[in-house]
Amino acid sequence: ELKVEQNPLFLSMQEGKNYTIYCNYSTTSDRLYWYRQDPGKSLESLFVLLSNGAVKQEGRLMASLDTKARLSTLHITAAVHDLSATYFCAVDEIQGAQKLVFGQGTRLTINP
């Protein structure tokens, strides 16, 4: 059974600082997704990572994938308050079908 674990689960940081959220998963997969969720809202797609060594960046967020280590990271650079949200990673379990297994989520709070 595929397991996806994120850490930390809660993160409080100051504006302007850098930090990294880690996503470990338990089986071989090269399809890793990152989502953002604001309170009471749905999931917003951030990144889709599809191969070992993939790196994608959008604004202050950068995601990477190491399939050999079964690890993805979401790096936040010079955080701003607007990035406060819960971030989920998810692994697509089955090739050729859509079945995401989600991590527990990381609740990120960025303080002025």
Partner 1 sequence: KAGVTQTPRYLIKTRGQQVTLSCSPISGHRSVSWYQQTPGQGLQFLFEYFSETQRNKGNFPGRFSGRQFSNSRSEMNVSTLELGDSALYLCASSRASSGNTIYFGEGSWLTVV
Least Å from the CB of residue 67 to partner 1? 13
Neighbours of 39 (CB within 10 A): 8
d(CA 41, CA 88): 13
Applying CB under 8 A, does 55 fall inside the site for partner 1?
no
Contact flag: residue 39 with partner 1 (CB under 8 A): no
Residue 36 lies near partner 1 (rule: CB under 8 A):
no
Inter-residue contact 15 to 110 (CB < 8 Å): yes
Check if the beta carbon of residue 76 is closer than 8 Å to that of residue 83.
Answer: yes
* Number of residues binding to partner 1, judged by CB under 8 A: 24
Is 106 near partner 1 (CB under 8 A)?
no
Using the minimum distance from each CB to partner 1, give the nearer residue, 11 or 48: 48
